[in-house]
Chain A
Amino acid sequence: MPTLTVNGRAQAVAAEPETPLLYVLRDEFGLNGAKFGCGLGQCGACTVEVEGRAVLSCLTPIGLLEGRPVTTVEGLGTPENPGPLQAAFIAENAAQCGYCIAGMVMRAYALLRNNPHPGEAEIRDALRLNLCRCGTHMRILAAVRRAAGREPAATGATP
């Protein structure tokens, strides 16, 4: 029985090693952040962070993850006490339906861990693997810029 460490909590998991991480996160750990979007590694809704890298949990078998701590959006803060990156998304209204957002946050989290002050092109390039259908892209970019301590977005509503 593989043991996984998710958000600092180690747990033996009653699942075959080939089981994709996504189903274990949702069903064994009871976490909601990582979403089922395609199961094909095309949309990024299931993105989590492993050892500084953004990982698609719908494609990653848990057998590869023993001894490798996994961080999901739940590991960054709570709705009442959000972490800095989550707070940036809240401040920028960076969600419409929000189904893609936990994946966006985790993709950005992995980027900022490796590169705390990315440029605009680096942010866009990092996020290119994650799809958003509501068209919240400008808000998401603004949130990542804010978390990276960069100037506020060159975009917005004027009264």
Chain B
Amino acid sequence: MALTRRTLLVGGALLVGIGLPRPARAAAPTGSLPAAPRIDAWIRLGEDGAATVLTGKAELGQGIKTALIQVAAEELGLDPASVHLVTADTELTPNEGYTAGSHSMQDSATAIRLAAAAARALLAEAAGRRLGLPPESLTVADGAVAAPDGMRLPFGELVQEVDLEAEVPATTPLRDPATYTMVGRPLPRVDIPGKVAGAASYVQDIRAPGMVHARILRPPRPGARLVALEAESVAARSGVIRVHRDGDFVAVLAEREYAAVTALRALARVAVWQGGTVVPEPDALFSDLAGRKAERTVIHEAGAGTPVPAGRRLTAQYRRRYQMHGSIGPSCAVAEFDGSRLTVWSHAQGMFPLRKALAEMLALPEDQVRCIHVEGSGCYGHNGADDAAGDAALLARALPGRPVRVQYTREQEHLWEPYGGAMLTEASAVLGPDGRIADWDYSVRSPTHLTRPPGAGQLLSARMLEKPFRAPPPKALPQPEGGGDRNAIPLYRLPRARVAHDFVTDMPLRVSALRSLGAYMNVFSIESFLDELAEAAGADPVAFRLAHLDDPRARAVIEAAAERFGWGRTLQRGHGAGFAFARYKNLAAYCALAVEVAVARESGRVRLVRAQGAVDAGQIVNPHGIRDQIEGGIIQAMSWSLFEAVAHDAEGPTSRDWSTYPIARFPDIPERLDVHLIDRPGAPFLGAGEVAQGPTAAALANAIRQAAGVRLRELPMRPELVKAGIGV
């Protein structure tokens, strides 16, 4: 992959810095537009009639490139092949923060749609001036403005006459969804042909002239200090450029990659480490968590003035162990320092926050640091990507003029990534005489789910330097999106309810954002508890949910999933069906899920046999894109929920590879997996990338209950828990 810097000529448009802030807009959704209100922050047009679209979001494997191209092509009236997309780059694109929280469609696609519509309106006006016709009489399609008599003016001829520096007007007319020809279609993913044929697609594939290969030496356990390092023999090895040390941050730099691999092994043999943090033993994990200092916030309260109603009270506690992102490709980054400017190519989720962290760590002005997103292996949240970028930046500064490529080992990615935190929830409810929930009390105890940059102290190696940076104190993410309390407030009609978030400020293992944050655990807890209540009420779980739901879109996905699954049909012996529902963050996509599992009583092994999802993500841009996110979410969450817990002992994590942290393989994959999509033409885009995580966990637990008579309240639901429940 060739590196292009500072200027980038795409589709005939020279891209340079963009945008100025202006007052916020109101009314219809505007996505990220208020932060970058100019048309050319998002859309550029070339003399060749092609468009360049700029997004501050990044392709993480979720298919965002394809969907954004579709949205721009639709509003512009241009073939998607003539739309070139530039993703997150601190020098070229708008600052859209992190690519996280299922926000890309809501934020970026909404802004791009408005900017593209504004550009289209200007093209029509320019053509109207030329032709002496009112713009409303003209059609914009296929890269040209056409008059009623068939006269066509291609975009390329009009480019000089449109001012894309203008701001997107508040009243930009959008195309009528009924006329869509591109949005809503399963346009094939633009990046797959390259990926199946070995094109340079990833940061791992960058080969810059003069590039050196680096490997990082990590301590054998968290918190250990380096007390001795006799590195001369390693530095003298053939092909090794140098061993770099700054405090406890140690790396070896070599001309060829395999020389760096073998040099790291040699380096590990001559390093002497001492001490380390103490981690509670796995058996003490939950008692330790329950005893940790926490800040309580009541995030929802309803009917507080009314007396506690009469009825039968049920209570339950749920647990979730540490789980990891487990990217298939260990993190990688490339950085180059020319003596004054630093350029970093990274697969992290936020190029602008990363730039801030790197500038702070290296004491450089932010405008002397450029971060460019290049795809990596799927991350599913905050994995090792930012840390690798930090390491590459440190080493590039130490070796000016030569691009440095840092590649983590499998063990480093497994042991040092920030995990999804262990969590505890408690649910208590009163079932009234009418069989409805009369009182609800719920609390979630959770560590932070956000330890990402922009703080330099969030970069792993920055904490190990001679002059170390400290991690800033964790903060809870506020509602309505929430962090540990994401989806802790049920969408169900609950006349009397109280929901509290106990934010644990200090955790023994490093934690951060893992796909869906606390929603995975909260939806598991709430949707498991709903089934426990339905069972106590003698009600069907689907009917019980519907009896507590008013939102017609919520009801629609539940009814669709139940009907298509064949809910209520008799299953074979040893099999069970389970149901669950959530609206992600209570404000993004809706997802209902029905699953069938088979439980082997002797081994305790649970197999997902089939699953039927139903999803409402508002206006669908690419049905295959949403389907793939839901399918992937179900399979990944099935793997988390049945197999995955970070193993650790008193010295730290011991899940160092795929044998000590097994994940789902092909024999674990269901026989059938169907996703029903409910399209809402013209409705706002609703992020769908994380919505399946929680429902999958709960639907599995509910199906295991039906199949084997066991109620499991701990994630993962491993065979030993199943067997203990059955009593075999």
Contacts and interface: CB of A to CB of B under 8 A. Distances in A.
* A and B physically associate: yes
Interface of A: 15, 19-20, 23, 26-27, 30-33, 35-40, 42-43, 45, 72-74, 76-80, 82, 86, 89-91, 93-102, 105, 124-125, 127-139, 141, 154-159
Contacts, number: 206
A102 B665 contact: no
A95 B195 contact: yes
Contact of A137 (B61, B191, B204, B669): B669
Interface stretch (B295-303, B365-373, B655-663, B701-709): B655-663
Contacts of A37: 328-330, 410
B197 A86 contact: yes
Q: Which 10 A-B pairs have the closest CB atoms?
A: A97-B61, A135-B635, A33-B198, A135-B632, A97-B378, A98-B195, A157-B627, A99-B377, A79-B193, A74-B198
User: Which of A36, A100, A135, A155 is the most central at the interface, judged by chain B CB atoms within 10 Å of its CB?
Assistant: A135
B198 A31 contact: yes
Contacts of A159: 623, 677, 679
A127 B666 CA distance: 6
A133 B667 contact: no
Given A97-B375, A158-B676, A124 B667 contact: yes
Given A72-B198, A135-B636, A157 B375 contact: no
A156 to B, nearest CB: 7
Interface stretch (B254-262, B440-448, B468-476, B536-544): B254-262
Contact of A156 (B204, B409, B627): B627
A86 B196 contact: yes
B659 A42 contact: yes
A32 B196 CA distance: 10
Nearest to B184: A159
B637 to A, nearest CB: 8
B658 A43 contact: yes
Contact of B628 (A82, A96, A124): A96
A95 B624 CA distance: 11
A72 to B, nearest CB: 7
Interface residues of B, number: 70
B257 A80 contact: no
Contact of B61 (A74, A134, A156, A158): A134
Contacts of B580: none
A103 to B, nearest CB: 9
A81 B191 CA distance: 14
Given A37-B330, A79-B194, 13 more contacts: A20-B258, A23-B257, A33-B198, A36-B329, A40-B657, A79-B193, A82-B193, A89-B192, A97-B328, A102-B196, A128-B667, A156-B674, A157-B677
Interface string B58-97: 0011110000000000000000000000000000000000
Nearest to B63: A96
Nearest to B213: A27
A2 B639 CA distance: 42
B687 interface: no
B197 A133 contact: no
Interface of A is mostly: loop
User: Which of B194, B631, B657, B670 is the most central at the interface, judged by chain A CB atoms within 10 Å of its CB?
Assistant: B631
Nearest to A72: B198
B378 A15 contact: no
Contacts of A156: 627, 674-675
B258 A19 contact: yes
Contacts of B669: 124, 137-138, 141
Contacts of B639: 135
B672 interface: yes
Interface string B607-634: 0000000000000000110111001111
Contacts of B31: none
A102 B198 contact: yes
Contacts of B244: none
B354 to A, nearest CB: 19
B377 to A, nearest CB: 4
B93 to A, nearest CB: 20
Given A97-B375, A141-B669, A105 B196 contact: yes
Nearest to B377: A99
User: Which of A35, A91, A138 is the most central at the interface, judged by chain B CB atoms within 10 Å of its CB?
Assistant: A138
B189 interface: yes
Nearest to A131: B328
Given A27-B257, A136-B628, A36 B199 contact: no
29 contacts: A23-B258, A23-B261, A32-B204, A36-B330, A38-B410, A42-B410, A42-B658, A45-B329, A89-B192, A93-B188, A94-B196, A95-B191, A97-B61, A97-B375, A97-B378, A98-B201, A99-B61, A127-B666, A129-B665, A134-B61, A134-B632, A137-B666, A137-B669, A138-B670, A138-B673, A155-B672, A157-B674, A157-B675, A158-B676
A23 B670 CA distance: 35
Contacts of A93: 186, 188-189, 192, 624, 628
A159 B678 CA distance: 7
B632 A96 contact: yes
Contacts of B407: 36
